[in-house]
């Protein structure tokens, strides 16, 4: 979605909860879509504690901010997508690359997938 309406975020939240289970805490910034009654009702309904960063506190979410910097400088700014549909396709490819092929200095030159599947009991589906 390219609006601040909560619908797309609620849909993504519900899908994540279905696929990955219910966390104890959910942390976001104070964006309108996350502070909406619709979004917070889903969290409250599942008994999830809501944690929100202070306004202008990018450092509270530094890992996600770093991810979005990579997305912008390695993909979005280089491609200048003309339509939202083209952007979605490009981001889908980029996130596949980012998690399965792009090596990260802070992960000892491993990919996020390699770290996640090596350090957890989760097994990659065949």
pTM confidence score: 0.62
What whole-number distance in Å separates Cα of residue 88 and Cα of residue 110? 26
Is 73 found in the same domain as 50? no
Same domain, 71 and 121: yes
Instruction: Say if residue 84 is in the same domain as residue 50.
Output: no
Least Cα distance to 91 among 115, 63, 67 occurs for 67
pLDDT tens-digit map of 69-104: 999 999 999 998 999 999 999 999 999 999 999 999
In three-state secondary structure terms, 98 is helix
In a domain, 61, yes or no: no
**Number of domains, the chain:** 2
Domain that holds residue 50: 1-56
Are residues 51 and 80 both part of a single domain? Answer: no
Of 10, 26, 56, the residue at which a domain comes to its end is: 56
Please give the share of the chain, as a percent, with pLDDT higher than 70: 89
């Amino acid at each position: 979605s390219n609006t601040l309406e909560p619908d797309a975020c609620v849909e993504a939240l519900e899908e994540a909860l279905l696929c990955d289970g219910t966390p104890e805490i959910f942390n976001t910034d104070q964006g309108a879509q996350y502070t909406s009654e619709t979004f917070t009702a889903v969290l409250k309904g599942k008994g999830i504690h809501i944690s929100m960063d202070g306004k202008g506190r990018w450092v509270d979410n530094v890992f996600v901010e770093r991810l979005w910097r990579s997305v912008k400088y390695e993909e979005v700014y280089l491609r200048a997508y003309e339509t939202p549909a083209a952007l979605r396709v490009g981001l889908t490819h980029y996130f596949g690359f980012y998690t399965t092929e792009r090596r990260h200095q802070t992960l000892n030159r491993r990919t996020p997938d390699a770290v996640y599947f090596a350090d957890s009991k989760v097994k990659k589906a065949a």
